[in-house]
């Protein structure tokens, strides 16, 4: 005969109806993706991520190149300004020497 003690031992070993309610039902499992569905989803997600990454990389590169163009334009402007200043300095220096020659004024070399 089975005693109450035996039933208590069996309850410890085997799952009760209440214990089984915690497990997923067949209907619950239908809500989850299968391996194949997950692989398709994963490939789509990878493609979207790669597209996003390429788009972001393109924007960053465009920003860097635009910034580089601005800097190079500024450098070019500085070079042109320096060349114009050097020509004007040379012209002024020549005028001073011409005036000194015509007025018979001696210039110091310092």
Q: What is the pLDDT of residues 20-35, one digit of tens each?
A: 777 777 777 777 878 8
Residue 47 counted as domain residue? yes
Question: Tokens in use for 54?
Answer: 């390429």
Q: What is the pLDDT of residues 89-103, one digit of tens each?
A: 999 999 999 999 999
| pLDDT attached to residue 61 | 94
| pLDDT attached to residue 109 | 76
Domain count of the chain? 1
Residue 9 counted as domain residue? no
Q: What is the pLDDT of residues 64-82, one digit of tens each?
A: 999 999 999 999 999 999 9
Q: What is the pLDDT of residues 31-59, one digit of tens each?
A: 787 888 889 999 999 988 888 888 999 99
Residue 66 counted as domain residue? yes
Distance of CA 26 to the CA centre of its chain: 44
Residue 81 counted as domain residue? yes
pTM reported for the whole predicted model: 0.48
Range of the domain at 65: 22-102
Tokens 């210039």 correspond to 107
> 106 to each of 90, 92, 103, how far by Cα in Å?
19, 17, 9
């Amino acid at each position: 005969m089975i005693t109450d003690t035996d039933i208590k031992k069996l309850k410890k070993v085997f799952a009760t109806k209440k214990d089984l309610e915690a497990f997923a039902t067949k209907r619950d499992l239908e809500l989850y993706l299968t391996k194949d569905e997950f692989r398709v989803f994963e490939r789509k997600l990878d493609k979207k991520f790669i597209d996003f990454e390429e788009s972001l990389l393109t924007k960053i590169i465009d920003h860097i190149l635009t910034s580089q163009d601005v800097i190079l334009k500024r450098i070019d402007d500085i070079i042109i300004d320096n060349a114009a200043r050097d020509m004007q300095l040379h012209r002024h220096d020549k005028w001073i020497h011409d005036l000194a020659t015509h007025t018979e004024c001696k210039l110091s070399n310092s």
